[in-house]
Structures are given as structure tokens and as C-alpha cells.
Amino acid sequence: MKQDVFPQKEVAGFLSKNFIPVVLDIDDDMLPEGFEYYAVPTFFVVSEKGALIERVVGGADKAQFLEYLRGVLKKDELAK
């Protein structure tokens, strides 16, 4: 994902427009309390206040990842 999906122009643009990406390395960084993972990669979507909104486990191709991100935005809009 880090090498193949994130650098793609459409993914990078969508992420920068709608999210603040933070990358943590499970070997070097501590995860915030309550953020558990069972496999890598694991993606967490967190609210502005730090509450966990969504978690997904596993890699994806560009189309799958963009679909996931769009779905998260729709859920967030419906919750408002």
C-alpha cells in the first residue's frame, strides 16, 4: 500500500483533500490506547476529537481503497 497505492495521484489527492494521514510503524511507534490491530496493514479513521470512527484490516488496490475512503466520508456525512 505504502509503495503502490498511496503514491498514486488520485489516492494521494483524495487523502490530502479529505483526511490528515498519519503513518505509524507497529515496530517503532506506540498506538493510542484502544487502537488494536490484528494484522497489518490496519487503517484507522479517527474523528477530530480522537474517537475511532472506522477500522479496516488488509491491503487493497487503488479502486478498493478509494471506495473504502468514499464510504467512510458518506458515513461521516450521515452521522452529522
Domain boundaries, the chain: 9-73
Q: Could you tell me the pTM of the whole model?
A: 0.82
Please give the pLDDT value at position 34.
84
Please give the pLDDT value at position 51.
83
Q: How far apart are the first and last CA of the chain?
A: 30
| 53 and 46 Cβ atoms separated by less than 8 Å | yes
Report the C-alpha dihedral over residues 16, 25, 40, 32, rounded to 10 degrees. -80
Confidence class of residue 79 from pLDDT cuts 50, 70 and 90?
low
Question: What are the tens digits of pLDDT across the range 22-78?
Answer: 999 989 999 888 888 889 999 999 888 888 888 999 999 999 999 999 998 887 665
The residue among 7, 9, 34 whose CA lies nearest residue 23 is: 7
